[in-house]
Amino acid sequence: MELTATIMKPVLYSCLLFSFWLLSFLSFCEAADRQGEILHKLLTSGRSEKSRISSSPDEIDALPGQPDGVDFDQYAGYVTVDQKAGRALFYYLVESPPNSSSNNPLILSLNGGPGCSSLGYGAMSELGPFRVNSDGQTLFRNDFAWNNVANVIFLESPAGVGFSYSNTSSDYDNAGDTTTAIDTYTFLVNWLERFTQYKSRAFFIAGESYAGHYVPQLASTILYNNENTNQTVINLKGIAVGNGLLDEAITLRGIYDNFWTHALNSDETYKGIHKYCDFANDTVSEKCFDFTGQADDEIGDIDIYNIYAAICLDSSLKNGSHGSVHDFDPCTDYFVENYLNIPEVQNALHANQTEWTHCSGDKDGRVPVAATRYSLNVLKLGVKKGWHAWYSEKEVGGYVVKEDWHWLQ
């Protein structure tokens, strides 16, 4: 795994607290002609704004196989981040429905890897408006999509991920955290010139896994350039990182501790790893290599990202089956990959015709809660309110600790 960034305290912490705003309805008590005049102005204004935005060549008419009743706008396309190298990043924007607040924030959603697609994972498997049915050709709605309360950009970054590309092949070999932060910042500046209505909108960055590097580094780049350059000021309000990879040594220690505490490894293997493995050292001893290999063998064939979930035993496409966000299909990755490789889908997304490929909580074995706790301890933020449960509809939804300047859960 690439680790070109040094450990750094996040420059900004924020909790994304979303709520619904009810639209207030106008009631007119004046004469009918006055009502007509006001209504005409409102409708004319609305059409003018809508036509201005809809004129974008990036607007998606409809995604192939999308369900009926889609009431929000979608955009997709490329933004050049390096003209000379011919490097461009692919994005997918889903706006809030028209009955939502016109002031809903703008969120940039980043996945990890490094090298995994935010379109395939973030948009199509996690928090986007659609999921792919098991036929690999049609979509169903995600009732819990983030665009219910925000306008969300899913960005495939760095170049070489998903539909993003560079005409300079050496860019793929030289990619790193610093380049990724600069390219993503350049993407945002150029993208805001294309979607000027979002320039003053509250902006958040959210990510998971290796985005534990991407998110704080991008935030730092934005804050620096806001103060020291004449570039567009990005109205950054906060960041959110879920199961973030902040440091490889800490994460590896957390992984094997998590295996043992969940009865996936034997006591002998666990003790051997603690005795012979110094994950902070770039050189791995032969004994450490043996015990970590033994640990990997002992866990068997499970989903390392959700150790209690079923695994995909039959990845073949199935007609007539309709998915549900309440019943996650472990073969989803195969359905998504098939869908995003359909030529009509790539055309609808304004993407180049190409072969598209993909690349926590304590059920996530790759960046488990143990590793997250170790990382937070390194930051030494100080506790304002100790570990306690939080509730959703009178049931425990998880556990949280309140630390200085932010919430962590």
Which range has the worst mean pLDDT, 17-21, 186-190, 250-254? Answer: 17-21
The answer on pLDDT for 35 being more than 70 is no
Who has greater pLDDT, 127 or 396? 127
pTM of the model: 0.73
**What does 215-232 look like in DSSP terms, one character per residue?**
HHHHHHHHHHHHHHSSSP
Determine the Cα–Cα distance for residues 298 and 134; give it in Å rounded to an integer. Answer: 31
Pairing of strands 139-141, 130-132: antiparallel
Q: Which tens digit of pLDDT belongs to each residue from 114-161? A: 888 999 999 999 999 999 999 999 999 999 999 999 999 999 999 999
Judge whether residue 26 has pLDDT over 80: no
Q: Is the pLDDT of residue 43 over 60?
A: no
Q: Is residue 187 part of a domain?
A: yes
Q: Report the distance separating Cα 372 and Cα 245, nearest Å.
A: 8
Tell whether the torsion through CA atoms of 231, 75, 121 and 392 is positive or negative: positive
The CATH number assigned to the domain holding 96 equals 3.40.50.1820
Domain membership of residue 288 (yes or no) is no
User: For residue range 330-381, what is the model confidence (pLDDT) as tens digits?
Assistant: 888 999 999 999 999 999 999 999 999 988 344 333 444 554 555 555 555 6
407 pLDDT band, cuts 50/70/90, is: very low
What pLDDT score does 347 carry?
Answer: 98
Peptide bond into 158 cis (omega under 30): yes
Beta strands in 102-200 (DSSP E): 106-110, 130-132, 139-141, 151-156, 165-166
Which token pair is 256?
């094997």
- Band of the pLDDT at 22, cuts 50, 70, 90? very low
Query: What pLDDT does residue 396 have?
Result: 62
Residue 351 gets the label, from left (phi > 0), alpha (psi -120 to 50) or beta, of beta
Chain-wide mean pLDDT for the chain?
79
Q: Is residue 11 part of a domain?
A: no
Q: pLDDT tens digits, residue range 160-210? A: 999 999 999 888 878 788 999 999 999 999 999 999 999 999 999 999 888
Instruction: Answer yes or no: is 371 within a domain.
Output: no
In a domain, 88, yes or no: yes
Buried b or exposed e, range 338-359, using 16+ CB within 10 angstroms: bbbeeeebbebbbbeeeebebe
- Of 158, 180, 161, 242, nearest to 207 by C-alpha is 242
Report which of residues 135 and 39 the model is more confident about: 135
Domain that holds residue 85: 74-248+317-349
Spell 143-182 as b/e; 16+ CB within 10 A means b. Answer: eebbbbbbbbbbbbbbbbbbbbbbeeeebeeebebebbbb
**End-to-end Cα, the chain, rounded Å:** 25
> Which of 196-233 are b and which e, b meaning 16 or more Cβ less than 10 Å from the residue's Cβ?
eebeebebbbbbbbbbbbbbbbbbbbbeebeeeeeebe
Output the pLDDT for position 383: 64
Q: What are phi and psi of 337, to 5 degrees?
A: -65, -40
Residue 143: inside a domain: yes
Q: What is the average per-residue pLDDT within 319-336?
A: 79
Q: 146 φ, ψ to 5°?
A: -65, -25
Query: Residue with structure tokens 């396309």?
Result: 77
Asked if residue 118 belongs to a domain, the reply is yes
- Alpha-carbon distance 366 to 106, whole Å? 29
- pLDDT, residue 200, reads 94
Q: What is the pLDDT of residue 320?
A: 64
Contacts of 23 (CB under 8 A, 6+ apart): 99, 101
The pLDDT score that the predictor gives to residue 25 is 25
For residue 237 the two structure tokens come to 């309000």
Give the number of domains in the chain: 1
Polymer length in residues for the chain: 409
DSSP 197: G
| Residue 225 counted as domain residue | yes
- Report percent pLDDT > 90 for the chain: 50
